[in-house]
Chain A
């Protein structure tokens, strides 16, 4: 019977210890290097994406808007690139005419607004202070929320943002004026080719379905984006006309602000009417004109024009979001990209909803036809 070999546990010698130390150190260093490079890579991606996010998004919106016009010219000329140039020249001419007409007026309005803004903020602070005092007088058991101080600091913040932010936004706007037309040109010219290249990556078995779905989703998206932009423009024009009947100043700015904020459902129109009502309150006081402005903002623009006419015609019912989703989208968008994120957060969530619904509808269409023969038999 052979004796089993005794297992001897030798303590690790010096060489092994050094080797283990080197391997561990190298591993740790490599891990740290990968981690730091990964974070810097993520930072790089974040910086690059935040710089490109807005121009690409605006270009996509513009592409969806201009696509029907380009297609119209392409039908007659037969050339895509030539048609895009025609549309660009027409847009440039339109912009030039608009600038000739609007810029001098808006420049003086903007200058006086910058001077008037502290006055409006003061008016708002006074109004809030009065309101606070009234609340305190009526409900003495509730501690003062220091509304005055809060209102004042909010006002100061707004003034600072406007005064400091204007040159920065002008610089950013300059960059956008350069990048957006360029990106839009390439999206208009090569958009379908880019989409086709992406679709071609799908495996053979799923390719056909992916292609069909992408077409349906793009169609719905262009319908939705065009609808939203046209809706915002019409609301802006209605408010401009409505306010023009009164002595209120900055009608143009107020109309543009109301139009842009109208892109956010439920909350947007409320935010959009705040500056108008504030200016009316400070400049005109509570009277006939003030109540007319409230009616224009609330009843005419929102209830009659938007809810009864525009939304049923322009926006498909299913792209409307539940108010809860709107709030979530605004909070998430605001956290990621500030005020801009708050404006574009909701359309992005609507887009995701459209994609989801299109996929579900597509699946339902084909599973429904599957069940038909059974029900017939």
Chain B
């Protein structure tokens, strides 16, 4: 067949759609197909080149990113401006979700380590969704709060472990 005709009659495969991809991301796994299609219409696809900064610590944050392809480095800078890598995230992982609920500054920086495609979901989109389809927005917010509370538990656990191992680090806190 002529390639021109192939292009005209080529239908986007379901597997290629963002809605299908979202089904495999833990935070959106509970949503049905229709809700995911609705969510797809609100999401933003952004392409980053290798080494491109996604956001820096201190930037105004308004939402989360899901990695569609590529890898992302989450890092911070020490007092001596030395880079400290906090995490290396890959396919289907997400970051920046803490700023989704309330406007706050980014606490760490993010950078694409290779050519990367991200899907952005922002507070404005959630508000828009809540207006049009509150039940879907409710499910997403519930999933998000579950993930955030899980991460909070983990960091609490780590903090407690640290407190037990190095009590001197927290001595000022106990004295006050």
Contact = CB atoms under 8 A, between A and B. Distances in A.
Interface of A: 71, 74-75, 78, 80, 192-193, 196, 199-200, 204-205, 207-209, 211-212, 214-216, 362, 365-366, 369-370
Given A71-B131, A75-B133, A78-B133, A208 B120 contact: yes
Interface of B: 34, 41, 44, 46, 48, 52-55, 58-63, 103-105, 120, 122-124, 127-128, 131-134
Given A74-B132, A75-B132, A369-B105, A208 B127 contact: no
B105 A208 contact: no
Contacts of A71: 131-132
Contacts of B41: 193
Nearest to B49: A204
21 contacts: A71-B131, A75-B131, A75-B132, A78-B34, A78-B133, A193-B41, A199-B44, A204-B52, A204-B54, A207-B120, A209-B60, A211-B44, A211-B122, A211-B124, A215-B127, A216-B124, A362-B60, A365-B103, A366-B60, A366-B103, A369-B104
Given A204-B54, A208-B122, 16 more contacts: A71-B131, A75-B134, A199-B44, A200-B44, A205-B55, A207-B120, A211-B62, A211-B124, A212-B103, A215-B122, A215-B127, A215-B128, A216-B124, A362-B60, A369-B104, A370-B105
A74 B135 CA distance: 12
B103 A207 contact: no
A212 B122 contact: yes
Contacts of B62: 208-209, 211-212
A71 B130 CA distance: 10
Contact of B124 (A75, A215, A369): A215
Chain B CB count within 10 A is highest, among A75, A204, A366, A369, for: A204
A201 to B, nearest CB: 12
B43 to A, nearest CB: 10
A205 B59 CA distance: 10
B55 A212 contact: no
A311 to B, nearest CB: 26
